[in-house]
Structures are given as structure tokens and as C-alpha cells.
Amino acid sequence: MEILLATICGMTVSLMNILNGKLSAVTGTFLSLVVIHLTGLLAVILVLMVRHEKLTIKSGIPILAYSGGVIGVLTTLFSVVSVSKVGAASLTALSLGGQMAVSFILEHYGLLGAKQQRISLQKIIGLCVVIVGIGVMFA
Amino acid sequence: MIAIVLSILSGATIVLSRQVNGYFTKYTSASTSTFMNYFTGLISSIIVFIFYGISLTPHINVAKLTASPIILFGGSLSIINVFLLNILVSRIPPVALTLTTFTTQIISGMIFDYAFYGIFSPNKCIGICIVIAGLIISQMPATRSVYRSLTPGKSK
């Protein structure tokens, strides 16, 4: 059951990238970002209402803590611009390469609250194999 | 080329936003963190649209929107992902979760590419297999313990 749910997770992200890319083609990139985040926010509000959950915002939260959504806008922007040109599968593979590289750096230096973990040769080899795979996808 | 660079950067920003959102969750609940993530994202995208996007917005083909209204709801699909991950993160080891979601994401991406864009090539299939192998290699020590936890009868 859990594997089925995890499968749905993966499929949802790919479908989301495709739909967002198609929306961007119709409305333009920047308006599509507004629509994407608006529908996402409305869905969150709906879930909160159904689950009778309340927002709990304490005082003294650093401003930086609010920047996740701003960075998320960049993620969405990069995805909608590139998905129609490289496709969802290549976007996923390239994104994975970026995720791995940044994760390794954050972990190696213990940045942004990441648990410090020195980069291993195995991780470097894994990243290199991913890069080779991406190269084959574009060959 | 620009699309390739942006795709890589999208991965970088995914990790950065995840770290920041995790930092925010320490001060509040997961639901509130998710809400603020979308709320701040909406405010940011509106600001960017007002300052840069209005002049770049093409004449909107309403017929295309009414023909395929589902394209308006890509953003709301993400809440399914968030909801399921919240359930799964405590039920599946993180490496197994990462491998499963990524594998299905990239394979379904290949299927959707063919269905929506007509993109398909044998190289893409081979490349996807190599990419998945690379991900497994980078996770390998934990993968072994995940295998043992999933097959308790066969463990030492």
C-alpha cells in the first residue's frame, strides 16, 4: 500500500510539471506562476478546513524562515520554462542532478540546518553516473 | 541549453526551499508551514507578475483554457504530493521513499512526454535506467539496510 502511495507521489509530480508547462504556454510564464500558487493555496485551505486544522504562527520567527515559498516560486518558474523544451523525464533527471549536487554541498558543510555528513566517494560516483545517464538521455 | 541549466537550477532550489521550510516547521506545524509556503509563493509571484509579467503576458487564448481546464489545476495537484509524503515519511524508510518516488516520477514523465509532447527515444529509456542506477549507487549503504528491513525473514 505504501509503495502504491509513493508511486502516486511520483506520478503526481510529473503530471503537475506537464500541466504547469501547458498552462504557461497559454497564459504566459509569470501569470501561470500566479495561477499555480493560487490554486495550490486554495487546495491547502480546503484541506485545512476539512481537517479542522488551525494555523499556528508564533512570534519571533526569523524572516528567513518565510523565504521557502519565495524559493519555491523560482522552482516553479524554472520548471514551467524548461518542461516544454526538455520534457518531464529530462527535467526530472536534470533536477535530480541539481538536487544531489546541492544536497551534498549542504551536508558536507552542515549548512542551513543540514546534518553534517562528509561527502563520500560513493556519492560522487553516484552523481557521475547520473550525469552520464543524463548525457545518454540527450544523445 | 538554457532549459537544461534551468532544470538543474530547479533541483537546487527544491533542496534549498525544503531546508528552509523544514527550518520554519520548527516554529510551527507542518500544515501551517505548507500554508505559508504557498501563501508567500503567491505573494511573490503576484509581485513579480505586476513588475515584470504584465507586459510579457500574451493574449490569452480562452478557448484553449476552456478546452482543457485541467491545466489550471496543476498547482493544486502538489497538495496531493505534500499530503501523501506526510503520511509516507513515517511509514517508509527515507531512501526507499526517495527511490520509489523518483523512479515513478521519471518513468511516468517519460510516458507523459510521449502522450502530451510526442517525445520518445530509446536513448531516453537507457539514460533513465542509468540515472536510476546512479541514484541507487549514491544511496547504496542505506539501500542494503532498507532491503533487510523490508525482508525481515531473510535478515541475519
Question: Considering only alpha carbons, which residue of chain A is nearest residue B11?
Answer: A95
CA neighbor of B132 nearest in space, from B144, B140, B121? B140
pLDDT in tens, A18-69: 999 889 888 888 899 999 999 999 999 998 888 887 777 766 777 777 778 8
Question: Considering only alpha carbons, which residue of chain A is nearest residue B74?
Answer: A16
Residue B117 structural domain: 92-140
Check whether residue B80 and residue B105 sit in a common domain: no
CA atoms within 13 A on the CB side of A31: 15
Contacts of A114 (CB under 8 A, 6+ apart): A103, A106, A107, B19
* pLDDT band at residue A133 using 50, 70 and 90 as cut-offs: very high
For an interface test with A, the pick among B56, B59, B78, B147 (most A C-beta atoms closer than 10 Å) comes out as B78
Distance CA B52, CA A127 (A): 36
pLDDT of residue A35: 92
Residue, of A68 and B146, whose pLDDT is higher: A68
For residue B96, is it within any domain? yes
In A91-130, the residues whose Cβ lies within 8 Å of chain B are 91-103, 106, 112-114, 122-123, 125-130
For residue B73, is it within any domain? yes
Check whether residue B85 and residue B96 sit in a common domain: no
With 0-12 / 13-18 / 19 or more C-beta atoms within 10 angstroms meaning exposed / middle / buried, residue B32 is buried
Distance CA B88, CA B85 (A): 5
Mark yes or no for CB contact B29/A64 under 8 Å. no
For residue B148, is it within any domain? no
For residue B154, is it within any domain? no
* Domain count across chain B: 2
How close does chain A come to B141, measured CA to CA in Å? 9
Question: Considering only alpha carbons, which residue of chain A is nearest residue B35?
Answer: A44
Mark yes or no for CB contact B3/A69 under 8 Å. no
B-chain residues near A3 (CB < 8 A): 92, 100
DSSP B52: I
- Nine-digit cell at A42? 486554495
Check whether residue B59 and residue B99 sit in a common domain: no
Check whether residue B116 and residue B45 sit in a common domain: no
pLDDT of residue B156: 45
**Contact of B111 with B86, CB cutoff 8 Å:** no
The complex's ipTM?
0.83
Check whether residue B23 and residue B2 sit in a common domain: yes
pLDDT in tens, B21-73: 777 766 777 778 888 888 989 999 999 888 877 766 666 777 777 777 888 88
